[in-house]
Amino acid sequence: MVWRAVLFVLIPNHPRRTHLELKEIKIIIDLMKRNDLALFQLEREGFKIKLQRGSLAAPGAASGPLTVQVGGAALPAAALAAGDGAASASSSPAASSSAPAPVAASETEAYREINSPMVGTFYQSPSPEAGPFVKVGQEVTEDSVVCIIEAMKVMNEIKAETKGVIAEIVAENGKPVQFGQVLFKVK
């Protein structure tokens, strides 16, 4: 369900370089805008950057993985696996905010995650008076509705898309969530 486009950019650099110049970040943002990409992630030893933007209007927006190589070979896909959290940047404080620190690899193996397919506000229940769609310890199947995410007043019913028991409700009721943010952990 989640559309995700990942842009690989080879930054001309020193292998040990641990930062990007503002100018370089701007170039990446421009590339993302021009190619309608929602997520950019780059990871090096001791360095990590993630740029993410909400793209909401176009129904036919990029729906499959897209690889763009600039100036050389693409980074290996393994570089995109979650590591322990280093610096995380965002394209602008307004359009998106920093992604939550990724969990350690050993922990991700034990849980599956339900991620937000969009930018919006997370709601655990259909109305403030109603009970939550799911509670910790509750069994879910692929078709179980687990929450609503509101984006521009469109109330989107989100399904678990996985089977198991809710281990943790990570997102907070009534608070904004970003594209790809972990909402629930399922075991």
Partner 1 sequence: MSSPRFDEAAADDAPLHADAIHARLPADRLLGREIVVLDETGSTNDEIARAANAAAPEGLVVFAERQRAGRGRQGRRWESRAGVGLWFSLLLRPPGQMSGWAGLSLWAALGVAEAAETATGVVAEIKWPNDVLVAGRKVAGILIETHAGKAQDGAFAVVGIGINVGHRPDDFSSELRDRAGSLAQFSQRPVNRLALASTVLMRLDANYRLWQSAPTEIVAACSRRCSLRGRRVRSLLPGGPEGVATGFDAAGQLLLRDDAGQLHTLASGELQTL
151 binds partner 1 (CB under 8 A): yes
The conformation of residue 124, written as its DSSP 8-state character, comes to: S
113 binds partner 1 (CB under 8 A): no
Phi/psi of residue 66, nearest 5 degrees: -135, 130
Q: Calculate ∠ Cα 100-41-119, nearest 5°.
A: 50
| Shortest spacing between CB 54 and partner 1, in angstroms | 5
| Shortest spacing between CB 85 and partner 1, in angstroms | 21
Provide the mask over 57-86, with x wherever binding to partner 1 is found by CB under 8 A and - wherever it is not.
Answer: xxxxx-x-----------------------
By the 8 A CB rule, do 179 and 39 touch? yes
| Shortest spacing between CB 33 and partner 1, in angstroms | 9
Query: What does the H/E/C string look like for 36-64?
Result: CCCEEEEEECCEEEEEECCCCCCCCCCCC
By the 8 A CB rule, do 49 and 7 touch? no
Q: Which window, 21-29, 41-49, 81-89, 123-131, contacts partner 1 (CB under 8 A)?
A: 123-131
Q: Which residues here bind partner 1, judged by CB under 8 A?
A: 1-3, 54-61, 63, 92-95, 117-121, 123, 126-130, 143, 145, 150-159, 174-176, 179
